[in-house]
Structure 1
Amino acid sequence: MIAHLSGTVLTANDTSLVLNVSGVGYRVHAPQEVLVKAAPGEECALHTHLAVRETALELFGFLEEHDLRLFELLISVSGIGPRSALQILNLAPAEVLIPSIKKGDTTHLTKVSGIGAKSAQKIVVELKDKLEGFSFESGADEDDADVLDALAALGYSQGEAREALKAVPPEAATPQERIRAALAALSQ
């Protein structure tokens, strides 16, 4: 199907953007971190998933391939559709969700409207084993999840937190040092 789109952003709203690819405008539903970066006229490349329903075809786009893979794992769970999966990814990035699911923690999942304790537990049970081999090309690990959680608790967006994490020097070994370094990067 349609696995990747690259083009110019025509418009963006709270839930989607229109990407002009060789004169054709594709509406792509995307996480907030994509939408905040999607300024009209800017170039954008997205890894995409085409959701096929009886009455519609919908594209969902992600900046990172690991976000797309997690999205596809989430929608493989019975009862979780593409919009619910997108809401989950809006509340917590993959770097936070994956370690929490592996630990059996449903906290992030139950924050999504329409996902109760039962559904969250079902997601954990179905995905726990599937996530064992899941790796990030960006090299994120559980310490990064702690840093992203801390920055989110301080009110920073997922996109801001990820950018700050990229600026953390490798010599910052402990989560506390990584949080301090990320906060320093955000204050500049």
Structure 2
Amino acid sequence: MLYTLAGIVALKKDNFFVLEVGGFGIKVFAPLNVLRDLQMGKTTKIFTSFKVKEDAFEIYGFLNEEEMNFFELLNSVNGVGPKTALNIMNIDVFDRLVAAISEGKVELLTKASGIGKKTAERVILELRGKLGREGTMELVGIMESDHDIVEALVGLGYTKSQAKSAISKVDEKLKKLEERIKAALKILKNG
């Protein structure tokens, strides 16, 4: 998968930009802070999240790894797709969003387009333990392995929704990939 891209910013729109890389113009969706900071005609390196949909491939771009990991973490919440994750990231600066989730501030999250009270509560419930007290990511490694586990479970015939739901129920104390896979499979088996 793509982890980073480097190229020249050729075009900026409301919710995406085009990065010229090796003669190709790559459409990259991004949060508003990224779009604000990009300079037309300048060479830029971005961290990417690559999403496969039934009818399209989409790339989401971030200026640093921490924000990319936060996006992935938001996207791991049941009912939060990539566009909704971007909407959440657009309501405030990164540190305040992390603090709001850690402190259970539902009202801030509901400012995002497409986020109601129940979804905001689910985001807080599922992510609160995965964010550090001072706004740092503690479990980025687990989150990245969880993404791999979801892909593996989908390959075994489970839906993405079933896989994400099972992963969200796996004990946070389990750190090793194989332990987390076994626990997720057990959860799915016991239904």
Structure 2 residue 88 is matched with structure 1 residue 88? yes
Task: Report the TM-score, using the length of structure 1 for normalisation.
Answer: 0.69
Cross-structure match for 1:22: 22
Task: Indicate yes or no: 2:35 matched with 1:35.
Answer: yes
Give the conservation status (yes or no) of the 8 Å contact 2:48–2:61.
Answer: yes
**Residue 71 (structure 1) aligns with:** 71
- Match of 2:175? none
**Residue 37 of structure 1: CA displacement?**
2.6
Q: 2:2, 2:66 → 1: CA distance? A: 17
* Residue of structure 2 in register with 1:135 after alignment: 136
Distance in 2 (CA, whole Å) between partners of 1:19 and 1:54 is: 24
**CA RMSD across the alignment:** 1.4
Describe the superposition over 1:79-125 as per-residue Cα deviations: whole angstroms up to 9, x where unpaired: 00000100111111220111111111112210012211111000000
1:1-188 alignment to 2 at 5 Å? 1-132=1-132, 135=136
What is the identity percentage for the equivalent residue pairs of Structure 1 and Structure 2? 40
Q: Are the equivalent residues in 1 in contact too, given 2:106–2:121 (CA < 8 A)?
A: yes
SS of structure 1 residue aligned to 2:130: coil
TM-score by length of 2: 0.68
In the alignment, the residues of structure 1 paired with residue 41 and residue 132 of structure 2 have an alpha-carbon distance, to the nearest angstrom, of: 40
After superposing on structure 2, the runs of 4+ consecutive aligned residues of structure 1 that deviate more than 4 Å are: none
Distance 2:37 2:101 in 1: 28
Aligned counterparts of 2:90 and 2:113: Cα–Cα separation in 1:
12
**CA positional deviation for 1:65:** 1.0
Q: Which ranges in structure 2 are unaligned for 5 or more consecutive residues?
A: 138-191
Report the Cα distance in structure 2 between the residues aligned to 1:117 and 1:54, rounded to whole angstroms.
28
Question: Is the CA contact (8 Å cut-off) linking 1:11 and 1:39 kept in structure 2?
Answer: no
**Tell me, what secondary structure is at the counterpart of 2:5?**
strand
